[in-house]
Amino acid sequence: MIERDYLFLPGRPIHAIIAEVGQKYGLTYSEMIAKRRQLYLVGPRHEAIWRCAMETTASLPEIGRAFHRDHTTVLHAIRAHEVRNGIASDEMKAKHAERLKSCGLRSAHSKMVRASNAQAAQEI
């Protein structure tokens, strides 16, 4: 992979999502990926990271590279955004698995969701 190819993975480009969320909150692209941790940047950045995870096929390390952050920071941002906005994790995992499935990809999440759905169907 050539350096910075992770910004152009299948699906929506990561840089487009960053710019779109930045525009929504009146922030520049540079502010969105800056190392600063001021409160007015954190929420929008978490939203952009969450949307990158949901709308692209990028891995956590690839998203982290786009934001100049570690993959564990990306995972924290996704979880924090879900908690802040009351998004159910299982619901988001199912949505993400469906998106990956539509792209012809499989993930551990999709296997987990299928198993969870099968168990829920048996309980009914």
Neighbours of 94 (CB within 10 A): 18
Q: What is the pTM of this model?
A: 0.67
The four Cα atoms 78, 79, 81, 82 give a dihedral, to 10 degrees, of 120
User: What's the pLDDT score for residue 1?
Assistant: 41
Q: What pLDDT was estimated at residue 57?
A: 87
pLDDT tens digits for 43-86?
Answer: 999 999 999 998 888 999 999 999 999 999 999 999 999 989 98
Token pair of 44, please?
């929008």
8 A C-beta contact, residue 65 and residue 100: no
On whether the 1-87 domain is CATH 3.30.360.10, my answer is no
State the pLDDT at residue 32.
97
Q: Using 50, 70 and 90 to split pLDDT, how confident is the model at 124?
A: low
CATH 1.10.1750.10 boundaries in the chain: 1-87
Q: How confident is the model at residue 34 (pLDDT cuts 50, 70, 90)?
A: very high
Q: Tell me the average pLDDT across 85-97.
A: 73
